[in-house]
Amino acid sequence: MTSGTPISSGRVTLPVEKGMEKEVLELASKWGIDAVRDSDGTEMSEEIMKMGFEVYSTLCLIREDNEWAKANRDCLQQIYLMSDCCTAVSDVLEINPIEHYYSEQFELDTFHDPKKWWEVIDRTTGEVVDPEHWSFDREKKVVIIRKAKKWHRYTVSFLAYQIWEPVSMYNHKTNNWQTEHRLPVDPRHPKARAHLLETLDRWLQEHPNTSIVRFTTFFYNFDLIYDNEGKERQVDWFGYLSCVSPYAIEQFEKEYGYRLRPEDFVDMGYYNTPFRNPTKKYLDWMDFNQRFIAELAAECVERVHRAGKKAVMFLGDHWAGTEPYGKYFNRIGLDAVVGAAGDGVTTRMITDIPVKATEVRFYPYFFPDIFCDGGDPVGELLKVWLKSRRALLRKPADRMGYGGYLSLAWRFPDFIERVAQICQEFRDIHTMSRGTKPYSASFKVAVLNTWGKIRSWMTHQIAHSLWNQKCYSYLGVFEALAGLPFEVEFISFNDIKESGIPKETGVIISVGDAGTSWSGGEYWSDVKIQTTIREWVANGGGFIGVGEPTAFEYNGSFFQLADILGVQKETGFTMSHNKPKVVPEKKHFIIDDVKGNIDHGEGIDSIYKYSDNLKVLNIQNNSIALSANNFVKGRAVYLAGLPYNIENARLLMRAIYWAASKESEMFDWYCDNSNTECAVYPEAGRFVVINNTLEPQRTSVIRYGEKIIELDLQPMGYKWLEI
């Protein structure tokens, strides 16, 4: 399975438990571990701490001192929530704002005057109800709207205190803990900030054996909101809801010269999810918080450094506003970022972060859901490694590790053995590539959406690595890209408006549903955007649209760049127009490796031929699912959807080279068996060929169009070779 490189050690972090001392030592040689960490609910023994490993310790400052939090409830984190949308069946309407929220997570903030801080909105008209016309009944804890308009619908946007820190709540409920609920404090309050820094200093003193402080994370958790039954109601991994407080709003007003309304946070109930094109106000709010968080996090990191330890941030949990791809992230001064990865996209999300070092915590966690009778931990392990390996060959992580309970994993010897091989394969990437960059095509691929860089590898995600309808058919594009030989940049519409299309770009990719930020929505009505891209493609650029690219109903067109894409979508208004009958091409560079049917996932329907010279490459449900078009000197590819599989990754690679008009360049380095790929490190004088399947594969490596070697690979196997 491995290519026989010498056994080495290092770069691996192990979750340990008291009582597993012998096993830890065994894994030190088997897995080559050089660092140990604690987990939620485990203790590390003195013995392990003294084995000479680096010791990671977890620290979450905002929930660290529960006694202080209980004594300073005015410093608890807050949130803006929107009540149910209630229909007025008479002219008096009572709304219990918090009715469908979890009473153990949230408590109405009645300290700050509801008349000032809350908002009642007529959602039928969109108008704010004059506070004269409603009151808050402090006993019944309901808002009473008088003179409500019958059959209109109303909501109350209200402030609440967070009375259970959401991540510990999640762990608590998932693992049936009986411990005290931990409260989250908001360090924007000066006294909370001061206490938090004191807590950190004390903690550093109390942890002399800790070499690495792993912040999980800093201050504000992503949006994780439970319902009245204590179940997950909303989750937005990128949300900033927890940053809110009257204090923050007042500070914001001083800095920005205007006041944020409750509606700016609840956003008609859409809560500014990243699927929406953000408002200017929301972008200001993000920026305001990012600056504060970077400044305070930097203060924490500095104290860690002063204590002679390293500071690592966990990508996830209380990472709101840290924005690893944002403008202020480098101010924090971290030594590394560690994050969990279940696929290539989340791997790249971590490894591409501009930071000194990255560490990937691979799924599966050693948890009883998978490490149980009937569970298939090896299957889960291989699934993740197959996807992550491709990404690591493009951009390696400095370290790897696992999470959970070692005692559980230890019961699965096959798993232990297979991880040993993976650890070695992981180290080999470093050894053999000598830390040099992999070969990439001569042009860059730019992913274009409303967010651009700040959401690098974060598009179409709700929470971490979860499968979602309306997402997986698009995420596949990024999963494929994570391991393809292209340098990938995430750019925004505003980037294009301000600076045009980056010079080295060969292909622009737009992926998503109409109206979402990923597709772009109304940006496509922008003249500058349209003409800049049109001119760029006309001059030889490549444009790949997936799903509903350039979609915005405007001026008689749904796909605004239908002339470039060569396809248009029927939304009902051109039902009277006969659509050209189309017959898919049998042969085309893009589909030359396709065997059988292409999986377009959920797909998109009603796509028809718009340009005379369009080549249709696949049809699904009477709708064009894959096509290629020429536009002046440039080219465009349309794809209805592209869930990840290895055939689709090959298809995307071909589509990119074709769109860039650089088909022959693909054969500079190429494996003729599409189940295999190669990653090439010219500066190290080596390349590796990987088998992306669970079956043996024979493949030939092509160099400048000529076969240079044929080789057999074991299932999931790899071979490092000299150039």
Residue 375 vs 515, nearer CB to its own copies: 515
Q: Give 147's contacts (C-beta < 8 A, 6+ positions apart).
A: 91, 133
Q: Does residue 515 belong to the site contacting its own copies (CB under 8 A)?
A: yes
Among 574, 630, 645, 700, binds its own copies (CB under 8 A): 574
Size, binding site for its own copies by CB under 8 A: 64
Give DSSP secondary structure letters for 645-709: -HHHHHHHHHHHHHHTT-GGGGGGEEESSTTEEEEEEGGGTEEEEEE-SSS-EEEEEEETTEEEE
Residue 131 vs 515, nearer CB to its own copies: 515
3-state SS class at 429: helix
Residue 357 token pair: 């070092």
Among 50, 73, 146, 150, binds its own copies (CB under 8 A): 150
Among 18, 70, 152, 207, binds its own copies (CB under 8 A): 152
Q: Does residue 1 belong to the site contacting its own copies (CB under 8 A)?
A: no
Among 103, 110, 251, 273, binds its own copies (CB under 8 A): 273
Residue 71 vs 527, nearer CB to its own copies: 527
CA distances from 568 to 12, 89, 276, 282 (A): 50, 44, 23, 33
Q: Does residue 103 belong to the site contacting its own copies (CB under 8 A)?
A: no
Among 6, 52, 308, 556, binds its own copies (CB under 8 A): 556
Residue 336 vs 561, nearer CB to its own copies: 561
Helix (H) or strand (E) holding 59: strand 54-59
Among 151, 191, 250, 522, binds its own copies (CB under 8 A): 151
Residue 552: HSE in the Cβ half-sphere, 13 Å Cα cutoff: 21
Residue 631 vs 657, nearer CB to its own copies: 631
Q: Does residue 111 belong to the site contacting its own copies (CB under 8 A)?
A: no
Among 161, 203, 271, 285, binds its own copies (CB under 8 A): 271
Q: Detail the DSSP E strand segments found in 207-334.
A: 212-215, 223-226, 232-236, 310-315
Q: Does residue 85 belong to the site contacting its own copies (CB under 8 A)?
A: yes
Among 505, 516, 627, 697, binds its own copies (CB under 8 A): 516
Binding region for its own copies (CB under 8 A) out of 246-254, 351-359, 373-381, 549-557: 549-557
Question: Is 109 annotated in the active site?
Answer: no
Q: Does residue 503 belong to the site contacting its own copies (CB under 8 A)?
A: no
CB of 497 to its own copies, least distance (A): 14
Indicate the residue type of 368.
P
CB of 82 to its own copies, least distance (A): 8
Residue 29 vs 468, nearer CB to its own copies: 468
487-492/444-449 β-pairing: parallel
Judged by CB under 8 A, the chain residues 349 through 368 that form the site for its own copies are: none
Residue 52 vs 467, nearer CB to its own copies: 467
Q: Does residue 571 belong to the site contacting its own copies (CB under 8 A)?
A: yes
- CB of 204 within 8 A of CB of 57? no
Q: Does residue 464 belong to the site contacting its own copies (CB under 8 A)?
A: no
Measured CA to CA, the distance from residue 560 to residue 553 in angstroms comes to 8
Measured CA to CA, the distance from residue 462 to residue 443 in angstroms comes to 31
Q: Does residue 231 belong to the site contacting its own copies (CB under 8 A)?
A: yes
Binding mask of the shown chain, residues 595 to 634, with x at each position contacting its own copies by CB under 8 A: -------x--xx--------------xx---------x--
Binding region for its own copies (CB under 8 A) out of 247-255, 284-292, 348-356, 547-555: 547-555
Q: Does residue 42 belong to the site contacting its own copies (CB under 8 A)?
A: no
Measured CA to CA, the distance from residue 214 to residue 199 in angstroms comes to 15
3-state SS class at 366: strand
Residue with tokens 């590394």: 336
CA distances from 585 to 266, 405, 582, 614, 618 (A): 49, 54, 9, 10, 8
Judged by CB under 8 A, the chain residues 390 through 449 that form the site for its own copies are: none
Residue 436 token pair: 């040099």
DSSP 8-class letter at 60: -
Q: Does residue 530 belong to the site contacting its own copies (CB under 8 A)?
A: yes
DSSP 8-class letter at 444: E
Residue 437: HSE in the Cβ half-sphere, 13 Å Cα cutoff: 7
Q: Does residue 22 belong to the site contacting its own copies (CB under 8 A)?
A: no
Q: Does residue 540 belong to the site contacting its own copies (CB under 8 A)?
A: no
* Ramachandran angles phi, psi of 298, nearest 5°: -60, -40
Q: Does residue 99 belong to the site contacting its own copies (CB under 8 A)?
A: no
CB of 420 to its own copies, least distance (A): 39
Q: Does residue 58 belong to the site contacting its own copies (CB under 8 A)?
A: no
Among 22, 527, 586, 595, binds its own copies (CB under 8 A): 527
3-state SS class at 57: strand
CA distances from 155 to 88, 101, 146, 151 (A): 11, 14, 14, 13
Measured CA to CA, the distance from residue 305 to residue 67 in angstroms comes to 27
Which contacts (CB < 8 Å, 24+ apart) does range 516-519 have? 516/275, 516/276, 517/274, 517/275, 517/276, 517/277, 517/278, 517/449, 517/450, 517/451, 518/275, 518/449, 518/450, 518/459, 518/460, 518/474, 519/449, 519/547, 519/548, 519/549, 519/550, 519/551
Alpha helices in 77-235 (DSSP H): 114-117, 166-174, 190-206
Residue 223 vs 425, nearer CB to its own copies: 223
Among 18, 30, 112, 123, binds its own copies (CB under 8 A): 123
Binding mask of the shown chain, residues 65 to 84, with x at each position contacting its own copies by CB under 8 A: --------------------
Q: Does residue 234 belong to the site contacting its own copies (CB under 8 A)?
A: yes
Alpha helices in 400-456 (DSSP H): 406-409, 413-433
Catalytic residue among 317, 352, 428, 563: 317
Residue 268 vs 382, nearer CB to its own copies: 268
CB of 641 to its own copies, least distance (A): 12
Specify which residues 676 forms β-bridges with: 691
Q: Does residue 11 belong to the site contacting its own copies (CB under 8 A)?
A: no
* Ramachandran angles phi, psi of 221, nearest 5°: -75, 155
Binding region for its own copies (CB under 8 A) out of 132-140, 211-219, 299-307, 533-541: 533-541
Q: Does residue 279 belong to the site contacting its own copies (CB under 8 A)?
A: no
Among 112, 149, 331, 453, binds its own copies (CB under 8 A): 149
Q: Does residue 52 belong to the site contacting its own copies (CB under 8 A)?
A: no
| Closest to 337 in 3D by CA, of 305, 363, 310 | 310
| Closest to 267 in 3D by CA, of 283, 252, 282 | 282
Give the binding site for its own copies (CB under 8 A). Answer: 85, 87, 89, 123-126, 149-153, 223, 231-236, 239, 267-271, 273, 275-276, 462, 468-471, 513, 515-516, 527, 530-532, 534-535, 538, 553-557, 563, 570-578, 602, 605-606, 621-622, 632
Please identify every residue annotated as catalytic: 317
